[in-house]
Homo-oligomer: A and B are copies of this chain.
């Protein structure tokens, strides 16, 4: 792939405004080069960028596990925008499309890519994962197949939040949720709430959500939960929940331990919440009931499903937005999770709409 872009719009500036992470809790607005576009890529004018826990973690700690920020980095990987230029191999007709971005660039050649597991490509370049820049900027580039057209009925914010919805879709697929399934979801934060909605859209009949915070439990009832539990009051492990699938959206060892114990024979546990390298798991229960435990890492082929779920009204992403910020206030957006009732902050690199 040659790096000689065929920009087709005369209005693309050579430099753009970006919010650059220059150190722990150090964000600066800078003029940086507009990224070059390969022949199979498109240039996207960024509309809205959701703030993810991983963005906040890089901002606060400069690393996530093995991924370490060693130079200036642009954060943000949940985004929507509009195609303003296309590479030589991409039809000109794509210019002007409103798109949601699948923020990954896999090598296409390795064992994992050849097997259709491009999310596990060891050569992956993923937005806002050091040293790859993300989307707290006016423009970004992405391969044409990962710029997913969205209908006008989907807002910029919802289009951006198709990224966490993709996490939830992947989770439901791994959990094997089908109409009539029963689910336990630990955690009523953004991922837990989106998972609850997605479980409902996949047809789950029983969706039990646990959270320590009453307000968050209440909120879950508006987003698909058929029942909420305070894990301090109810011992999830012994309450006879007997669910087909457990999804952990906390990363907290007690939630994981008790949640797996709530799974029925031949059921599944999907660990989505992160934070620990190792964790004690109930292996005897896993063995005696032949439970499957797995995790998810990003996604493959989820945007089309997500677009349908949002466009059909099965999943509501718009009402999850609890904070809106211009690019210059990206730091506030990244700090907004200190309020446990906040769900999703959105940054608008080209100005609030």
**In the assembled complex, how far is the CB of residue A108 from the closest CB belonging to chain B, in whole angstroms?**
4
A284 near B288: Cβ-Cβ < 8 Å: no
Residues of B within 8 A of A274 (CB): 284, 287
Q: Does any Cβ of B come within 8 Å of A13's Cβ?
A: no
Taking a contact as CB atoms under 8 Å apart, the answer to whether B283 and A278 are in contact is: yes
Partner pick for A297 among B178, B201, B288, B305, CB 8 A cutoff: B288
Give the Cβ gap from A312 to chain B, nearest Cβ, in Å.
7
Once A203-B201, A266-B112, A293-B286 are accepted as A-B contacts, the answer to whether A308 and B40 lie under 8 Å apart by CB is no
Q: Which residues of B contact A232 (CB under 8 A)?
A: none
A271 CB within 8 Å of chain B: yes
- From 279 to 310 in chain A, residues with beta carbon under 8 angstroms from any chain B beta carbon are 279-297, 300-301, 304-309
A113 to chain B, nearest CB (A): 8
Residue of B143, B179, B265 near A169 (CB, 8 A) is B179
| A325 CB-CB contact with B under 8 Å | no
With A257-B278, A280-B278 known as contacts, the answer to whether A297 contacts B308 (CB < 8 A) is no
Bound-complex Cα distance A22 to B305 (A): 49
Q: Contact at B205–A179, with CB atoms within 8 Å? A: no
Q: Which of A165-181 touch B at CB < 8 Å?
A: 169, 173-174, 178-180
Please list the residues of chain A having a beta carbon within 8 angstroms of any beta carbon in chain B. 1-2, 40, 65, 108-109, 112-120, 122, 143, 145, 169, 173-174, 178-180, 201-203, 205, 256-257, 265-266, 271-272, 274, 276-297, 300-301, 304-309, 312, 314
| Nearest 4 A/B pairs, CB to CB | A116-B116, A287-B295, A180-B305, A205-B308
Other than the given A114-B116, A278-B280, 13 more pairs (CB < 8 A) read A108-B113, A116-B117, A173-B178, A178-B202, A179-B202, A179-B305, A179-B309, A180-B306, A205-B304, A274-B284, A277-B283, A281-B293, A292-B294
